[in-house]
Structure 1
Amino acid sequence: MTAKPPLHIVVLMGGWANEREVSLMSGAGVADALEMNGHSVTQLDLDRNVAQRLAELKPDVVFNALHGVPGEDGSVQGMLDLMGIPYTHSGLATSVIAIDKQLTKQALVPHGIPMPGGRIVAVDDLHMRDPLPRPYVLKPVNEGSSVGVAIVTEDSNVGNPIAREAVGPWQDFDELLAEPFIKGRELTTAVIDSANGPRALGVTELIIETGFYDYEHKYTEGRTQHVCPANIPPEIAALCEQYAIKAHEVLGCHGTSRTDYRWDDEQGEDGLFVLETNTQPGMTPLSLVPEQARHADIGYAELVELIVMEAIRVHNLSGGSHGQD
């Protein structure tokens, strides 16, 4: 299914975000797959001269394998739009909204997608009082891969209220999103665009012995058990797929996305909550989208090719910019 003739594809990776190492792993895997598919590939580590390098390389398409800021927040997307270069995954407006957890709530909840309540809190206020009854979750507003997430419980070793010297995301950010803690199980559903519209690839349950599905658990082999397909009731699996497709459509995602959930299995369908939709899911050997794709009989090389073909389709339909649906 490789495009004819073969394309010159720049895989944009690395950068300076917290998720740099994951991006490098994703990019290396993508580059190998694209070369296997017959394309000419240049791996490009994002730096401040990226626009000049892209102008020199003149790629047919950019595979955006960046994670976090500035590759996932609309910055790189805006640059590529101005340069008229097709690129994978979601466009500028979608990226701006989806990386911001509060904006994502404002976009999705009116469409019937359940998400935890919560509010933005100034870090200085955390050291005076709890923003919500314990247990609650604190997370950066616009970071991915569960970077900087903390669960504050009655017996947390952070003090009450939270001490300034206690280790946590309050030491790295001026504002945090506070949400009620939802007990239960970690679920996730990947969506990929197809000729017939967005397609959910299934549901994976993430089983963690201790803690929660944070950055270390995501990218350290053996720390998390992936159960794919998840051993959950059919109606919950169907609801996960329905919410994931709806989020993909409402946000205007392209290529692929992944929607993460917490499910309180004691509450049935009422216990399922969307946490976020990731517009540029990882493509590492431990990443969830390639894993779900395999269970849907889509190999890694085919998955990468489908994402590239969607980028070209979107670019052509939008007349030279990465248009929003």
Structure 2
Amino acid sequence: MPQQPSTDLTVAILAGGLSHEREVSLRSGRRVAGVLRDKGLNVEVLDVDAELLPRLREVAPDVVWPLLHGSTGEDGSLQNLLDLLGLPYVGTGAASCRLASHKPVAKSLLRAAGLATPDYAALPQSLFREVGARAVLGAIEHRLGMPLVIKPASGGSALGVTVVQTAEELPEAMVACFAYGDQALIESAVTGTEVAVSVVDLGDGPRALPPVEIVTDGPYDYDARYNAGRSEYFVPARLDEVQMRTVSDLAVAVHTTLGLRHLSRTDIILDDAGTAWFLDVNVAPGMTETSLFPQAAQADQTDVDELYVAIVRAALGD
């Protein structure tokens, strides 16, 4: 039986917004709201629109849980606003959000810390117009070779991401990428086992949850992530003890190096030589029915609902 609502703790969940990931955000928000309500917390789900600030004043939450994915939800903008309002919130602070959400910046910092990440170039759309697309594409092919992964420099849910096998596929991939952002990350493709490792930090240091292995019918794109049937998940991942430790250590190192807080999820490729390659990190992991953080938490053999409450209370204590 769900507990009766407790009046001593009110949580405002921010979901929706205007990014391409609005629907995913709404699904995440509804799911987390249901869990917290079942555990006896007062919960209000608020959209990020012109009514947000009046609604926040009306609700007067003890803690805010931002569950917006992409753009203002993960680039530090919303976190800066909550700082201005003096509201405690779940997740990484504004400065570290800016570092983590911009993929080329995150990769640069992690590489400087000695962590493995594929070779890459980050190029704005304007450069292709100024220098000439043909010349730029030729330089990409010459320096990075094939295959490549083309993705927006910011954003998530695999929107605008294309795996390119030949030079002929590059122009179309760039067009698809620039539909979701003005800067592209062009990255050498790494093959191996794809895993996602979630990290939680409730105040006693970051801890990796069991890695989730992802096996997909085709590319792990938006459809494969959020519509059942395209992807198969193995939790924990089918790795040996050394491999498990390798990917878990990388995720914790990413969390620590970038100064993340409360929770994160790192996407990794483990190659046949045993090297774990950093691909991306999410400071506001999806919480939908098919999302990877909830699957990892379930496999951790802890009470997932209690974990979400503990995350809220950790944010209240910071």
- After TM superposition, the score normalised by the length of structure 2 is 0.90
Q: Give the structure 2 partner of residue 321 of structure 1.
A: none
Tell me: CA distance 1:79–1:200, structure 2 relative to 1, closer, same or farther (3 Å). same
* AA partner of residue 134 (structure 1): M
Identity fraction in percent? 35
Q: Give the structure 2 partner of residue 264 of structure 1.
A: 271
Q: How does 1:154-169 map to 2 (within 5 A)?
A: 154=166, 159=168, 162=171, 168-169=176-177
d(CA) in 1 for partners of 2:4, 2:266: 28
**Cα drift, residue 153 of structure 1:** 0.9
- After TM superposition, the score normalised by the length of structure 1 is 0.88
Tell me: CA distance 1:4–1:149, structure 2 relative to 1, closer, same or farther (3 Å). same
Partners of 1:127 and 1:163 within 8 A in 2: no
Q: Give the structure 2 partner of residue 88 of structure 1.
A: 90
* Aligned partner of residue 261 in structure 2, secondary structure: coil
* Aligned partner of residue 32 in structure 2, secondary structure: helix
Tell me: CA distance 1:82–1:121, structure 2 relative to 1, closer, same or farther (3 Å). same
| 2:165 paired with 1:153 | yes
Q: Give the structure 1 partner of residue 66 of structure 2.
A: 64
Tell me: CA distance 1:27–1:225, structure 2 relative to 1, closer, same or farther (3 Å). same
| 2:104 paired with 1:102 | yes
d(CA) in 1 for partners of 2:170, 2:228: 35
| 2:278 paired with 1:274 | yes
Partners of 1:254 and 1:310 within 8 A in 2: no
**Cα drift, residue 251 of structure 1:** 1.2
**Cα drift, residue 4 of structure 1:** 7.5
| 2:247 paired with 1:240 | yes
**Cα drift, residue 239 of structure 1:** 0.8
| 2:196 paired with 1:188 | yes
Pick from 295, 300, 310 the counterpart of residue 304 of structure 2. Answer: 300
Tell me: CA distance 1:127–1:311, structure 2 relative to 1, closer, same or farther (3 Å). farther
Q: How does 1:68-147 map to 2 (within 5 A)?
A: 68-123=70-125, 124=128, 125-128=132-135, 129-130=137-138, 131=140, 132-147=144-159
**Cα drift, residue 53 of structure 1:** 2.1
**Cα drift, residue 112 of structure 1:** 2.0
d(CA) in 2 for partners of 1:235, 1:67: 32
| 2:40 paired with 1:31 | no
Paired residues, number: 306
| 2:224 paired with 1:222 | no
Partners of 1:202 and 1:229 within 8 A in 2: yes
d(CA) in 2 for partners of 1:36, 1:116: 43
Task: Extract unaligned runs of 5+ from structure 2.
Answer: none
**Cα drift, residue 58 of structure 1:** 1.2
Partners of 1:89 and 1:311 within 8 A in 2: yes
Q: Give the structure 2 partner of residue 176 of structure 1.
A: 184
d(CA) in 1 for partners of 2:250, 2:187: 20
**Cα drift, residue 194 of structure 1:** 3.1
* AA partner of residue 14 (structure 1): G
Partners of 1:203 and 1:241 within 8 A in 2: yes
Q: Spell out, residue by residue over 1:3-38, the C-alpha distance to the aligned partner (whole angstroms, 9 max, x if none).
A: 986311111101111111111011001111111111
Q: Spell out, residue by residue over 1:88-128, the C-alpha distance to the aligned partner (whole angstroms, 9 max, x if none).
A: 01110111011100110122122221111111124425444
User: Higher helix share goes to which structure?
Assistant: 2
**Mean Cα displacement is larger for which, 286-295 or 129-138?**
129-138
Partners of 1:2 and 1:305 within 8 A in 2: no
**Mean Cα displacement is larger for which, 117-126 or 23-32?**
117-126
Tell me: CA distance 1:2–1:181, structure 2 relative to 1, closer, same or farther (3 Å). farther
Q: Give the structure 2 partner of residue 320 of structure 1.
A: none
* AA partner of residue 89 (structure 2): Y
Partners of 1:186 and 1:206 within 8 A in 2: yes
Partners of 2:160 and 2:179 within 8 A in 1: no
**Cα drift, residue 254 of structure 1:** 1.3
* AA partner of residue 138 (structure 1): I
* AA partner of residue 292 (structure 1): A
* AA partner of residue 254 (structure 2): A
* AA partner of residue 109 (structure 2): A
Pick from 170, 193, 209 the counterpart of residue 201 of structure 1. Answer: 209
Partners of 2:152 and 2:160 within 8 A in 1: yes
* AA partner of residue 210 (structure 2): G
* Aligned partner of residue 187 in structure 1, secondary structure: strand
Partners of 2:14 and 2:46 within 8 A in 1: yes
Tell me: CA distance 1:108–1:214, structure 2 relative to 1, closer, same or farther (3 Å). same
